[in-house]
Amino acid sequence: MPTTRIDATVTSLSWIPSAAVTGLTKAAFETGFTHYDPPPPDVVDDLEHLRSDDRFRYANMLSGWAEIEDGRVVRAGYAGSSGVLMGSTTVRIGRLGARFAAVALPELRREPEYLPDGSVRLVQTCGGRTALPAPRAVPHPPFVKLQSPLVWTTLALILRPDGTSTVELPGASAFPRHWVYDAEGALTLKSGLTDYSAWAAHSFGARTPWGEEDSPALTVAVESAFERMLSRLLMTGEQRPRIRTLDADEMLTLQGEAGDELYLLLDGVLRVEVDGRRLAEVGPGAVLGERAVLEGGRRTSTLSAVTPVRVAVAPGSAIDRDRLAELADSHRREDVVA
């Protein structure tokens, strides 16, 4: 009986966007003592190059293989290249700068799970902590911690007998942002919510995968490359947006109300509803509100917070109408049933 072998590699990158840090720690970023990270690329083909450019804090690279006989996976495992790739933290005081490498923790790998449809599921957890101290009070013994909290992602790779693969993000730390790339190196999933305060308070000891528990990851679909370009324009243009926060279940817009502002979702998940019907849930990076700007100043949908959210609010004139029209044509959410 002939045996066929398939291989695939999936990756997550953990990075710190400007909207994710809250509280007193934000001052260290705003004063230049340390830095935020620019968004990683849409396609990853050279992790070492990204690491040398200080583009991410941690990478979880899961490489798996499977052998197939008679239409089923009969053997599978993790490739030697699987593991964590640690980034670094750059600290600056005046003109002086120093780079501190992060500290990796041992990789956690489950035994291959052979599924009823003949596929196999491989699961790997990778993470670590920054080398810099982070003194803080915490609500668990010993009630004061000096080491920084742990960052991690848990990736799952499903290998199928037909040679295809799927990546999942079943678990991750609440901070920072985590982006997931498929076997082709393309961005395919994002963590939908960051919670810096909860991460700092709880992500050590038993409350981590190296203790007794993982944290479920809320993932969202990836927005278009065009939306990512517009989001950069909104955040760096002459008309800088104001930041608005909403609690879960709060409403951002109401269908039919007047409005001419644009919204860039920085963190969290929003529900899109039209005529009381749920059409979609969107996550960080989504640009919203363009149809009201283009079509008479009335909101065409109701946007409500599924989780706590942070939104950048910009005037409709922050982006020219031709680009807004292209955005409206590319993702008319009212015409798509989610």
Closest by alpha carbon to 106, among 79, 85, 127?
A: 127
Q: Could you give the CA distance from residue 304 to residue 294 in angstroms, rounded to a whole number?
A: 21
Alpha-carbon distance of 28 to 200, in angstroms, equals: 15
**pLDDT-based confidence at residue 183 (cuts at 50, 70, 90):** very high
Reported as a single tens digit per residue, the pLDDT across 33-56 is 566 788 899 999 999 999 888 889
pLDDT for the residue numbered 138 = 77
Q: What phi and psi values does residue 209 have, to the nearest 5 degrees?
A: -60, -25
What single-letter DSSP state applies at residue 85?
Answer: E
For 121-162, how does the pLDDT look when each residue is reduced to its tens digit (9 = 90+)? 999 999 988 766 667 777 777 777 777 889 999 999 999 999
* pLDDT score, position 19: 66
Whole-model pTM: value is 0.81
Cβ contacts of 216 within 8 Å, gap of 6 or more? 170, 171
How does residue 177 score in pLDDT terms, banded at 50, 70 and 90?
A: very high
* Greater model confidence, 57 or 26: 57
Q: Is 232 helix (H, G, I), strand (E, B) or coil?
A: helix
The H or E element containing residue 227 is: helix 225-236
Give whole-number Cα distances, 243 to 19, 198, 253, 293, in Å. 9, 21, 15, 19
Q: Which residues of 243-270 are buried (b: 16+ CB within 10 A; e: fewer)?
A: eeebeeeeebbeeeeebebbbbbbbbbb
Cis peptide bond N-terminal to 142, omega within 30: yes
Average pLDDT over residues 78-92: 82
Which DSSP category does 138 fall into? -
Average pLDDT over residues 218-237: 85
**Dmax over Cα atoms in the chain, in whole Å?**
68
Average pLDDT score over the chain: 86
Res 119: pLDDT: 98
161 Ramachandran zone, left/alpha/beta (phi>0; psi -120 to 50): alpha
% of the chain residues with pLDDT over 90: 52
> How many Cβ atoms are within 10 Å of 336's Cβ, its own excluded?
10
- Which of residues 27 and 297 earns the better pLDDT score? 297
| Residue 147 and residue 129 in contact, taking contact as beta carbons nearer than 8 Å | yes
Residue ranges, CATH 2.60.120.10, the chain:
225-335
Q: Which of 148, 146, 145 is nearest to 131 (CA)?
A: 148
Residue 296, burial from CB neighbour count under 10 angstroms (0-12, 13-18, 19+): exposed
pLDDT of 91 reads 61
Rounded Cα distance, 6 and 9, in Å = 11
CATH of domain 225-335: 2.60.120.10
Neighbours of 324 (CB within 10 A): 20
Q: What is the C-alpha separation between 2 and 74, in angstroms, rounded?
A: 12
Q: What is the pLDDT of residue 99?
A: 61
Query: Is the model's pLDDT at 97 over the cut of 60?
Result: no
> Residue 225: is it exposed, middle or buried by C-beta count within 10 angstroms (0-12/13-18/19+)?
exposed
